[in-house]
Amino acid sequence: GVQDDEVPHLKAALEPWQDVTIVITYRRFFEWLVSKYNQKFRTLHKPLADGDGVYPSIVEYFGKDRILDLYHHWYMDSRFESYRKYFDDVVVFNIHDTTDLVSEFYCTILPDAPEACHAALDRVGKDDESKEYNKSVHLDYNRIARAAYHAGLLNDGLTLEYVINAIVHRQEEVLGKTIDDFPKQCM
């Protein structure tokens, strides 16, 4: 995202255009935190012995002070105010108001782009592979696998994917539980 001190530079870069609309995407704060954490630590493709070590839980990674800082400096309210200082037309796109973000964006946020809207509506239901591209993953199984490896509990040569699948199988198939049955720490 654009930081507060970069907004004037963005304004200058967009100066040649008369009709600029800034679109800020609204996402529920605690869902956004999980997504931010997943983006940082999504490492399913890396081998167990890659030197990454055991990465922190979401609670350890963010901590109370960091959560407050993120909320006050990076979340939608402060972003909105930063942009409003320099741009007349700032709109909020609530991703929770729709099941099809692309067509909603083109048809609602860009009302002067009817061809793009129609194209987006035409592809609804046809583009299922895009839903798998950036699918959220639970990183708890990954963290358990890495902790077991670094504690010396696993044989060398096992891949991270194999160990995670074994943990998932035991938890969900053998024990009949889910990832939510592991103890959790509150933020």
H-helix or E-strand spanning residue 36: helix 29-41
Nearest of 131, 101, 27, 14 to residue 110 by alpha carbon? 101
Question: Cβ neighbours of residue 7 under 8 Å, at least 6 residues apart?
Answer: 82, 83, 85, 86
Question: Cβ neighbours of residue 118 under 8 Å, at least 6 residues apart?
Answer: none
pLDDT at 131 > cutoff 60: no
Instruction: Specify whether the CB–CB gap between 117 and 24 falls below 8 A.
Output: no
How many residues belong to the chain? 187
Helix (H, G, I), strand (E, B), or coil: what is residue 70?
helix
pLDDT tens digit sequence for 79-109? 888 899 999 999 988 888 877 888 888 898 8
Supply the pLDDT for residue 63: 82
Helix (H, G, I), strand (E, B), or coil: what is residue 94?
strand
160, 163, 165, 169 alpha-carbon torsion, rounded to 10°: -170
- What pTM was estimated for this model as a whole? 0.60
Supply the pLDDT for residue 98: 79
pLDDT at 49 > cutoff 70: no
- The distance of Cα 148 from the centroid of its chain, to the nearest Å, equals 26
